[in-house]
Amino acid sequence: MQEKVKEPGSEFKWVGTRAPRPDGVDKVTGRARFGADLSLPGQLVGKVLRSPHPHARIRGIDTSAAEKLPGVKAVVTARDFKDQPSEFIPAGEMMINYRDVVRNVMAREKALYEGHPVAAVAATSAAVAKRALKLIKVDYEVLPHVIDVVEAMKPGAPLLHEDLYTVGVDPPPKSPSNVAKRIEFVLGDVAAGLRQADVVIEREFTTKPVHQGYIEPHACIASVSEDGLAELWGTTQGHWVVRAHCARLLGWDISKVRVTASEIGGGFGGKTVVYLEPIALALAKKAARPVKMVMTREEVFRASGPTSGAHVRVKIGARKDGRIVAAEAELKYQAGAFPGSPVQPGAMCAFAPYDLENVKVVGYDVVTNRPKVAAYRAPGGPISEFAVESVIDEIAARIGMDPIDLRLKNAAKQGTKAAYGPKFGPIGMIETLEAAKAHAHYRTPLGKNQGRGVASGFWFNIGGETAVSLSLNEDGTLALTAGTPDIGGLRASLCMMAAEELGVPMDKIRVVIGDTNSLGYNFLTGGSRSTFSSGMATVDAARQLIKEACKRAAKLWELPEDAVEYKDGAVRPAGPNAGKHSPMTLRDIAGIAGKTGGPIVGYARINAAGAAPSLATHICDVEVDPETGRVSVVRYTAIQDAGRAIHPSYVEGQYQGGVAQGIGWALNEEYIYGDDGKLQNPGFLDYRVPVASDLPMIDTVIVEVPNPRHPYGVRGVGETPIVPPMAAVANAVANATGVRFADLPMSPPKVLKALDEARAKGTAKL
């Protein structure tokens, strides 16, 4: 759908308001049902046996003793899942390979990380299931492991996959390695650009894997009838995707599997893949009883995907006037146990906020003995952009230029050709920078031991396959069904757009997320696509419904279809016939639906095109404790282009939530592995996400540069907010201390050590 974007102003009754969310009351009363909240008669408890070794060959599994334990109703291993050929399939922002998916769900030849599932049982109680797991004998041949990405790339490193040959190098390698892929994006000539530079800064950075940290662990309940009809209920960002994965892994027809998405307790990308779901279905089929599976928090940490840890080198050359003349980056992202780190989007984003002539980005996708990474909010972007935004800040300081001015001088704008290929349409980089510069925060004097940092960020956003239906009920109210799970206010936004189109109050529309049989295929909620894509489809469905309503009234009035119009919630005769008949409201139309042709339904089936990037600029003030090295964020302002904010509160919420996660990534969060290759902090006590007392209020500014490809100008907003914070915090710490941190997280012991070293050298500012 391409058309002129509606201009804001008095004609909007719902869009842009802070209307109540339709699912709100259920969520403040405990009524909302999340993944672990459904129980079925006769249900069993499913539990997974996981590898205690980071790397081991599985010589055999003996499940006979477990099967004999009273109360055990089913045991499954890799034998219960069909092996899959190697083939990469696009899945939103990431790629999947079913050969790897089936092995990640249940280890086959080898266990590749501590926590890798090797078998599962269904039993009459959790206690019996746990006892049964202890009776399963796995014959492991323990192998040497590799955890660090740089170590994994070295010749002679323990090999995870003996048949993995690096793709993207010429000539192709003769021997296998842990490097799955090399990618490269080049624009212009970096060497020639560097020759024009007055300043060249090259730095190396490391970031640790961090987990999405959704508060709700993975959970599902499966039931398979004796004739093979399966029902699955659970927490997911995309139930059609779950259906496709499960049917494929189990070798069942898709029509046999019906999936209902429960309310979802956070996802951030981590619930775009399957872990328990195919296992629960396989157990339920074998046991012929419903099977409920819920991960413990420890399992979530050990065995669901965090994002990559990485090693990044960035080199930027600029002239004294602040113009960047060359930019180069090398990204090494660890993918975990199977290929598929977000290095590609990381490489594409790295310099995307800037209009540059000479860019080269090289990326490596590297397997290590860790859980396979999953998408995490702007997958890959925060890592590469942390490094780039840190170096840009250092360049600004070196040439004595304001960091916002330096960014303005190089900002991408409409018509800029990105190094990864496309020419941008209207984008809001300059607008966010100007808003940052004009913000009172930027001029407020700093206190003792404080510093201020600025950073920008970019994310693409996606569209994709989407279906929505909108039915006119018998009394003129409406039933709206969408297929992208609502994680943070989607139903409110869709309802508002439908109300706006139809000219009816929001409370006349009941919106639900339908199951996989209720609509055509919907890709998942990810890539900041759901308000954009399901919104576009909702508008389409509403317009179809209006057209049909007009047709029915025209039939009744015996007028041509084009002689009626829909305005202010009613069909009216138009033009020369205006006033000839009383307007018919949707209630009146509903009353004649039966005799004029039957049910009135708008049904949008689209592949939403025209998703547009969202850019952000953040300002962060920190205070560093010179005695303990603790960094506290004392003020934060997030400025971002939303295209158009349908519901400003939930847009602000996305900004604030992304900032909080980014601050956690910058200051505290990390996966800590021992030399034994085992995760040492699989819990919220030691994997410390920000708590309320760690953070200040997070100020937000919504910039609106409408996306011309969406009927209301919407851009996805969910992912960009996590991109700038790490550099904004690091730049603020550098400003406060005189020490630049290239290794995340900037936890107190590291900061204190660096401060002590800088003090010894006389370079510390405090």
Q: CB of residue 695 vs another protein: minimum separation in angstroms?
A: 6
**CB of 6 closer than 8 Å to CB of 714:** no
Distance of closest approach, residue 115 Cβ to another protein, in angstroms: 16
> Contact region for another protein (CB under 8 A) — 65-73, 278-286, 383-391, 481-489?
481-489
Provide the mask over 640-669, with x wherever binding to another protein is found by CB under 8 A and - wherever it is not.
Answer: -------x-xx-xxx-xxxxxx--------
Our CB check for another protein shows the closer of 437 and 529 to be 529
According to CB under 8 A, which one of 5, 32, 199, 254 is a site residue for another protein?
32
Among 505, 599, 683, 749, contact with another protein (rule: CB under 8 A): 683
Told to check if 524 binds another protein by CB under 8 A, we report no
Number of residues interacting with another protein: please give it, by CB under 8 A. Answer: 60
Q: Is 297 exposed, middle or buried (0-12, 13-18, 19+ CB in 10 A)?
A: middle
Within 196-323, residue ranges assigned H as helices are 239-250, 277-287, 297-303
Q: Bridge-partner residues for 261, per DSSP?
A: 234
For another protein, the closer CB: 708 or 748: 748
| DSSP strand pairing (257-261 vs 509-513) | unpaired
- The pair of structure tokens assigned to 182 is 């090399």
Sign of CA dihedral 607, 613, 619, 624: positive
Distance CA 150, CA 179 (A): 10
Q: Do β-strands 310-318 and 478-482 pair in parallel, antiparallel, or remain unpaired?
A: unpaired
> How many Cβ atoms sit within 10 Å of the Cβ of residue 673?
22
Element (H, E) at 620: strand 614-624
Least distance between another protein and beta carbon 585 (Å): 29
Among 113, 205, 252, 268, indicate the residue that binds another protein (CB under 8 A): 268
Stretch that binds another protein, among 47-55, 472-480, 603-611, 691-699 (CB under 8 A): 691-699
Stretch that binds another protein, among 265-273, 279-287, 511-519, 622-630 (CB under 8 A): 265-273
Residue (193 or 265) nearer to another protein, CB = 265
**Per CB under 8 A, 760 contacts another protein:** no
766-to-253, 375, 452, 632, 763 alpha-carbon distances in Å: 65, 38, 15, 15, 9
692 Cβ partners below 8 Å, 6+ apart?
A: none
**What would the x/- binding string for another protein be over residues 177 to 216, using CB under 8 A?**
-----------------------------------xxxxx
Sign of the alpha-carbon dihedral angle for 165, 169, 170, 173: negative
User: CA 316: distance to chain centroid?
Assistant: 29
Which residue lies nearer to another protein by CB, 363 or 653? 653
Considering only 3, 39, 79, 191, the residue that binds another protein (CB under 8 A) is: 39
Q: Nearest distance from residue 701's CB to another protein, in Å?
A: 14
Among 414, 505, 691, 749, binds another protein (CB under 8 A): 691
The residue within the footprint of another protein, chosen from 684, 753, 757, 763 (CB under 8 A), is 684
The only residue of 14, 15, 16, 34 in contact with another protein, by rule CB under 8 A: 34
Query: Which range, of 22-30, 226-234, 311-319, 468-476, touches another protein by CB under 8 A?
Result: 22-30
Q: How far is the CB of 269 from another protein (least distance, A)?
A: 12
Structure tokens at 145: 């492991």
* Contact of 631 with 694, CB cutoff 8 Å: no
Per DSSP, the residues of 61-72 read EE-HHHHHSTTE
DSSP assignment string, 362-421: EEEEEE-SSPPP---SSTTHHHHHHHHHHHHHHHHHHHT--HHHHHHHHB--TTPBPTTS
Listed ranges 53-61, 253-261, 505-513, 695-703: which one lies at the site for another protein (CB under 8 A): 695-703
* 451 near another protein, judged by CB under 8 A: no
β-sheet bridge partners, residue 603: 469
Which of residues 96 and 729 has its CB atom nearest to another protein in the complex? 729
Q: Does 41 bind another protein (CB under 8 A)?
A: no
Q: Which stretch binds another protein (CB under 8 A): 180-188, 459-467, 559-567, 690-698?
A: 690-698
Q: Is 37 in the site for another protein (CB under 8 A)?
A: yes
First vs last C-alpha separation in the chain: 57
Q: Is residue 698 at the binding interface for another protein, with CB under 8 A as the rule? A: yes
Closest listed residue to residue 715, CA positions, set 581, 613, 577: 613
Least distance CB 242 / another protein (angstroms): 18
Member of 27, 59, 79, 134 binding another protein (CB under 8 A): 27
Helix axes 725-737, 648-667, angle to 10 degrees: 50
- Cβ(684)–Cβ(523) below 8 Å: no
Min separation Cβ 220 and another protein, Å = 15
Spatial strand order of the sheet with 110-111 comes to: 110-111, 56-62, 137-142
Which residues is 76 bridged to in the sheet?
120
Q: Tell me the CA distances in angstroms from 18 to 347, 532, 645, 652, one per residue in order.
A: 37, 18, 10, 11
What mask, x for binding another protein by CB under 8 A, covers residues 485 to 514? --xxx-------------------------
Q: Which is nearer to another protein, 335 or 378 (CB)?
A: 378
Can you count the helices (H) and strands (E) in the chain?
20, 28
Interface residue with another protein among 196, 206, 296, 416 (CB under 8 A) is 296
Question: Cα separations (Å) of 113 from 144, 161, 295, 340?
Answer: 11, 13, 17, 16
Taking Cα atoms as reference points, which of 167, 143, 171, 169 lies closest to residue 157? 143
Which segment (52-60, 517-525, 682-690, 707-715) binds another protein by CB under 8 A?
A: 682-690
Q: Tell me whether residue 277 or residue 299 sits nearer to another protein (CB atom).
A: 299
C-alpha 620/C-alpha 725 separation (Å) is 8
Binding mask 117-156 for another protein (x = CB under 8 A): ----------x-----------------------------
31/547 with CB nearer another protein: 31
Stretch that binds another protein, among 434-442, 594-602, 683-691, 753-761 (CB under 8 A): 683-691
Q: How far is the CB of 752 from another protein (least distance, A)?
A: 23
Q: What is the nearest approach in angstroms of another protein to the Cβ of residue 127?
A: 7
The H or E element that residue 81 is part of is none
From 30-38, 71-79, 395-403, 535-543, span contacting another protein (CB under 8 A): 30-38
Q: In the set 58, 91, 291, 294, which binds another protein (CB under 8 A)? A: 294
Among 209, 265, 602, 716, contact with another protein (rule: CB under 8 A) = 265
Binding to another protein by residue 693, rule CB under 8 A? yes
For residue 234, give the nearest of 195, 281, 202, 193 by alpha carbon.
281
Put the strands of the sheet holding 450-459 in their side by side order. Answer: 450-459, 614-624, 631-641, 698-703
- Smallest distance from another protein to CB 683, Å: 6
Q: Max alpha carbon distance in the chain (Å)?
A: 91
**Residue from 203, 286, 297, 605 in contact with another protein (CB under 8 A):** 297
* Residue number, 263 or 500, with CB nearest to another protein: 263
Residues near another protein (CB under 8 A) are 18, 20-21, 23-25, 27-34, 36-37, 39, 127, 212-217, 263-268, 294, 296-297, 487-489, 647, 649-650, 652-654, 656-661, 683-685, 689-695, 697-698
